[in-house]
Structures are given as C-alpha cells and as structure tokens.
Structure 1
C-alpha cells in the first residue's frame, strides 16, 4: 500500500483536510463575529458551501472519467487557495460583507466538489484491490486527525489572530497539496479513448442496479442531512445561544474529530471482529445516539461535557460506515465508470448537506437547542431502517 505514489497522495490530501478543518471554525466565526451573522445566516453559509454538489457533481464525475483526475485535483487546490486569499484581503481591509462571503463559500464548494470526486477516482490506480480497505482506513485516519486538530487549531488561531488571518492556514494547505500532487510522475487514472464513451448518467444506472451500493447511497443522503444539521446546529448553539468562545467551538469539533480518528484507526479490526454489516448498521445507530446526548445535555444544562461526549460519538460513527462503503464502491465499480459512480454518490450524499444546513438554521431559530437536537437525533435513528431493510444486512 505505502508506495511513493500513495504516500504522496495521502500526505497531500491529509494536509489539505487539516487546513479545511481550520476553516470549519474560522469561516462561520468570521461570519458570526465580524459580520454579525445569526443562526439562520450561518445555515445559509453552510448550505451555499455544499450546494455545488447538487449542481456540478455529475458533470465533474464525467470529466474525471474523460480527463486526468489528478490535474483536476491540482487545479481545485490552486483556485481554492486564491479564493481564500481574496476573503482574507477583503476582511482585513473592511470590505467583506455577507453577500461576498456567501459567493466565496459557493465558489469554494464548487472546487471542493471537483477535488473530492477526483481524489476517489485516482485512488484505485495507486492501490491494489486487496489493500483497498487498509488504504481507505489510512485516508479516514488522516481525515480524523484533520477533524481533531484542524478545528482546535482554527479556534486557537481565531482567538489569537482573529478569524480572517487564520484562513491563511487553509490556503497554505491547498498550496502544499497542489505542489505535492504535481510531483506524481506516474500516469494516474488515464483510460483509453474507446472507454471514455458514455453518458454522465451511466454511473446512476450502475449504482441503481447494485442493491448494497444503492441502499448505502440512500442512507448517506438522509444521514448527511442529519449530520450537517448537527454540525451547523452545534456552531449555532455554542456561538449564538451559549456565547462560547472560538476555542470552545474548536474543542467541540476537536472531540468530533477525535471520535473520527479513533474509529478510523479501528476500522480494519472492527470489520474482522464484527463484520461489515454490523459496523455499517451499528454506526448509524451510534450517530443518532451521539446527537441525542447533545439534546439531553442542552435540556439539563450539562455544559461542555455533554457537547464533547455527543460530538465524539457522532464523529466515531462516520468512519465505521465510510471505510466499508468506499471500499465496496471502489472494488465493484468498473474503472471506466468510477468517476461517474463517485459523482452520483457525492451528488446524493453531499448534495443533501444544504438541506441539513437550512434545516439547522430553521430549527435552531424557532426551537430550543434541546428540542432541535432531539428532532435531528430522531431522524438520524430512523434512517437506519434504510440499511436494515436492504441487502446491506448481508454485507461481508
């Protein structure tokens, strides 16, 4: 697994994710503190950042099957670095407003879609099929580390330097990723011209015929609405309702990332001990339980303990599902369809994020935090039925 090509890919995506973890705190904090955004405005911001998955995923997937996905990743890194640099320049000169921040978030989301779809299209050309689960575990482990240390670093940098300058760390991570990826000399995911024929919807038809992939994608769509509502609501709850500091928000997201990190490290042994089906279905129930802890904590005023425990559980649930889901998808999908299948999965899973962000903005504006978290937790638990009533329960 640890060839030079995969190690370069892994380090580039890991550093890029670390910088993005900084922005998870810095961007909404910039909106809340410098531009005086409330819960609804934070919901709009998160929704616009995720909306490009709905608009561009299928197109990007088709391009990833026709062009070199590695080049798409490098271009996305460069443009995102420039966009963040522009936001910092406008914020430090007092020219930034919510409309410009919304537009920047949408543009950042568009190039994040490009990077996200292209990176999974590249990976099967770097890793043998027998190493797909450990390779995905290594990628998820790095993502967990990014979610653990990135938001905490973002909270610290925001407290010390203010929100706008801390975005420079994210821009720098994109520059590092672009430079590292450009050192890859091996032709990556290049396919003969005759295999490039087809339509953007071919991936949708393949996924619809595969019962396990179809159910997992449906579940991802529903669960990511809940997960995004949880994450957006967590920011609104801490910054708007509790008036917590940026460091507290960073620590909460750090707990989420810590759960992610632990689960990613245990992904392979957990699969061997309990089997893939138990991991996938159990992670769904655990995610709802974590959000329920936040609801109880907000109702009983338990403070940061409930926030940290709930965020840890929700974070732990994600890799337990993701590692199995991605490994299955990359193993069973024909190479000439991989970009388009990945695009459909991202369209459904990430395209649902704006709904979660908007739902959080509405719920946390009109309901108490405890009630809002309880609604999200209930929806998350009910989503498990999609997996239980599908061929996923026979997943090996």
Structure 2
C-alpha cells in the first residue's frame, strides 16, 4: 500500500518538476484569482453606487455576453497564433483595463456606464484567454503527463476560485473597492509575465494525432486564413468526428444538469427540503468542491488510462443516481455524502476527458474545438437556471428528477455508440 501511494504521488508530482509547467500553473492560478477579484470589485462598487441589484445584473451581463460571443473568435486566433501569445496579450490587456478602472475609482469618478463599458471590455478580452488556457497544456508536457498535469491545474483552479472572491472581499472590506481593481491588475500582469516565460516542448512526427482524426484535421488545416473560414473549419472538424460530437453533446447535457441544480437546486434543497440555512447551503457547495478536488487528485495519480467513453457513460449514470437521491433525501448528512460522491465523480472523469481531448485532437484546431464546447456551455447555463427556477416552485424533487432523467438518457446514448465506447 505504501509503495502504491508513493508511486501515485510521484506520478502526480512529475509535471511540477518542469519549469514551464510551474509557470503555467502559477499564471493560470493568478488569472483565476484575478477573475475572483474582479467579480467582487464589480459587484460591490456597483451596489455601492446604485444600491440596485438590477444595475448589478446589467454590469455582470455586460461582462458575460461579450465573453460568450467572442470565445469562438478567441479559439480561432489561438490556433492561428499560439496559445501562449494570446494568453500573454489577454493578460496584459486585462491588467491595463483593471488598473484604469481602479485609478478612475480612486478619483471618485466611476459611474455605472463606465462600469458597464469596463465589464464588456473585460469579458471580450477574457474570451481570448479561456480557450488558450485550456489548449496550451499539450505544448508544455508530454502526452504521458497530461492526466496528472490536468489534475494539478484543476486543483489550482479550484483553490483560486475559492480564494479569489474571499481575498477580494477582504481587500474591499479593509480598504475600498477601487483598490481591489488595482490588486486585480497586478494579478493579471504577473500572469502575463509567467505565461510569456513558458517554453513550449519541441515537437516531432510522433506527436501527430490519431488515425481517426487525420482526415478532418487535414481539412481544417487547408481551410484558409480568414477568421470566419477558420471558425467554420473548426466546427466541421468537430462535427465530422463522432467521438468529438458525442463529447460536445455530453458536455452540453452535463452543463444543463449542473448549472441549475447546483445553484437553484442546492439553495432550494438547503432551505426548503432540509429546513436549513446558509450554513447548510455552504456545506453542500463545500462537499461538491471538496469531492471534485479529491476525485481530480485520485484521477491524476493513476498510472493507467481508463476507457474514456465508458468513463463518460459511468459519470452520467453516477450523477443520475445522485440527482435521484437528492430529490428524496431529508437529511443534511445524506445530502452531504451524496454531493461529495457526485463531486468525486466529476473531478475524476474531468481529468481523463480533458486529457483525451488534448491528446487526440489535432493541435492546429484544438482551441477551436475547446472554444465550441465552451460556447455551448455558455448558452446552456442560463436555460438551465431558468428551468430550474420554474421547477423549484414545486420543490426540489421535480428539478432533480428532470436532471436525473437527462443524465440517464445521456449515459445510454454514450453506451449506444461503438466509436465512443472505444475511446481511450
């Protein structure tokens, strides 16, 4: 047992020995920390200026819409230039933008229109960073290290997602909201510095994609240089491969089931069904995050690669069972354990699913495929929130039942495809 744990730890630590990976990990963590800062700063200063939640909704919407609309553009440019270049430029632009907003705020001249414009610009620039962030890893580590490297990056993501808003709130509480923008600018500037120092691995003939994707890759590479043509080529590449099509469908279905039930659903479950309060809601969200982090670490430490297609089906079925249980539980302990187990499955599968994408898809179209997946998620999340909000009027049971049904059908759909079942 001790030797097994030591071997698992060695595999998990292997990517951290590479200087470029350490720079990527630090840069990504700083960027996500900055995202958390910006959310708190935008939210708090908007409410301070207007005392209106409607105005806050406008500001956050101005940030979200450009990000969703321009993500495909960001993915296309990342494939054309390089993920490192786009991440560096995006980080520098966000640093300048946040510094500008902070300095304006220090003079007391911030208004809601300025905040909306800054939020829109931030969302637009961030759209170029996100696809590049997800596609740069294969240029930094060998294919054999993708799973543990993704696990370490995911842990950094989760820690930053927790620390960013928490530390941002402390900065606002101890100083003022404009100061949070300035700290935010420092985070993005340091992120850009880290990413700019990454040195990609040399690539040889052995790094080509697998045979099943070669034809589509060739089509995408020969598609021309115009932005629209490149975007169409990326879409065609994704749709011509049944495995990638299936992953896009599964991810979209998962987002539909996650977005509403893990927000509206958890709140309804905590307050109405479990008769609890904010502490109960915090426990459920903590169980989801803790389970996901544990599953990520376990997945990243494995030496063998499971069949990704079967793992995707297993996760959908696992979550379907979990959703069904959540619709019936009347105990906080039972709900906590169920959510913890669901989070573990999400984290475990996420390591191998993303690694398969990075390992299999041709590097020349990788960012475009990832950006398409992101856009589908952006589109599905608000629909899920609206539907869950409507279903929640009748209690959490119907909401979790609908999610369980969608996930069960997703699992059956994955199992029905021979191409997907054979994914490794």
* TM-score of the two chains, using structure 1 as the length reference: 0.75
**Structure 1: how far apart are the matches of 2:120 and 2:187?**
19
Query: Whose radius of gyration is greater, 1 or 2?
Result: 2
Higher relative contact order (CA 8 A, sep 6+): 1
Displacement after TM superposition at 1:374 (Å) = 5.7
SS, match of residue 389 in structure 1 = helix
2:130 to 105, 113, 116: 116
Between 1:378-387 and 1:281-290, the stretch displaced more is 281-290
- Please list every run of 5 or more consecutive structure 2 residues that lacks an aligned counterpart in the other structure: 1-14, 204-219
- Please list every run of 5 or more consecutive structure 1 residues that lacks an aligned counterpart in the other structure: none
Task: Tell me what 1:14 maps to.
Answer: 29
Task: Tell me what 1:261 maps to.
Answer: 293
**Structure 2: how far apart are the matches of 1:358 and 1:218?**
15
Between 1:131-140 and 1:316-325, the stretch displaced more is 316-325
**Structure 1: how far apart are the matches of 2:70 and 2:167?**
31
Displacement after TM superposition at 1:197 (Å) = 4.9
Task: Tell me what 1:210 maps to.
Answer: 241
1:325 to 346, 350, 353: 353
Deviation readout 1:57-107 (Å, 9 max, x if unpaired): 332222222213211111111111233334444555554455443433332
Between 1:87-96 and 1:208-217, the stretch displaced more is 87-96
1:385 to 409, 413, 418: 409
Does residue 60 of structure 1 match 2:91? Answer: no
Deviation readout 1:25-50 (Å, 9 max, x if unpaired): 55445445654343x66665555433
Aligned length, in residue pairs: 381
Change (3 A) 1:214 1:266: same
CA RMSD of aligned residues (A): 4.4
Does the 8 A contact of 2:290 with 2:343 survive in 1?
Answer: yes
Task: Tell me what 1:341 maps to.
Answer: 369
**Structure 2: how far apart are the matches of 1:314 and 1:326?**
18
Change (3 A) 1:313 1:360: farther
**Structure 1: how far apart are the matches of 2:249 and 2:142?**
28
Between 1:102-111 and 1:311-320, the stretch displaced more is 311-320
Deviation readout 1:215-239 (Å, 9 max, x if unpaired): 22122223324434456658998xx
* TM-score of the two chains, using structure 2 as the length reference: 0.71
**Structure 1: how far apart are the matches of 2:282 and 2:104?**
24
Pairs within 5 Å for 1:88-237: 88-91=102-105, 93-161=107-175, 163-185=177-199, 197-198=223-224, 199-200=229-230, 201-229=232-260, 233=264
Displacement after TM superposition at 1:164 (Å) = 4.8
